Amino acid sequence: DAGITQSPRHKVTETGTPVTLRCHQTENHRYMYWYRQDPGHGLRLIHYSYGVKDTDKGEVSDGYSVSRSKTEDFLLTLESATSSQTSVYFCAISLLAGENTGELFFGEGSRLTVL
């Protein structure tokens, strides 16, 4: 299994509170991604990173920010959580990106409930 650890795995919080999810990898892969998974939808990309301090927005980035200060860590922050952000969040990593995006390796997911 690829060395990807997400924390916390489960979190219940209240509307308006800040939340940070952490993704830690031991594979030294350059590219990292945060997705959310909701029933009836495929995975939707929130933000991605192509290196330390290099990040970009995905399809559903509103309400989320990210930071990558080290190759191995990619943080996803909800500055003020809303009920619409209740979801399962997945971190993924890849060796390649762009036109030659190959296999993605996924973490086990972080289930977030916003009350």
Partner 1 sequence: SQQGEEDPQALSIQEGENATMNCSYKTSINNLQWYRQNSGRGLVHLILIRSNEREKHSGRLRVTLDTSKKSSSLLITASRAADTASYFCATDAKTQSNYQLIWGAGTKLIIKP
Binding site for partner 1 (CB under 8 A): 4, 40-45, 48, 56, 58-59, 90, 92, 97-109
Smallest distance, Å, CB 36 to partner 1?
Answer: 11
CB atoms within 10 A of CB 108: 13
Task: Quote the CA–CA distance of 17 and 19 in Å, as a whole number.
Answer: 7
Q: Cβ closer to partner 1: 48 or 78?
A: 48
Instruction: Find out whether 87 and 45 touch, Cβ atoms under 8 Å.
Output: no
- Cβ proximity to partner 1: between 45 and 75 the closer is 45
CB atoms within 10 A of CB 70: 10
By beta-carbon proximity to partner 1, the closer residue of 62 and 99 is 99
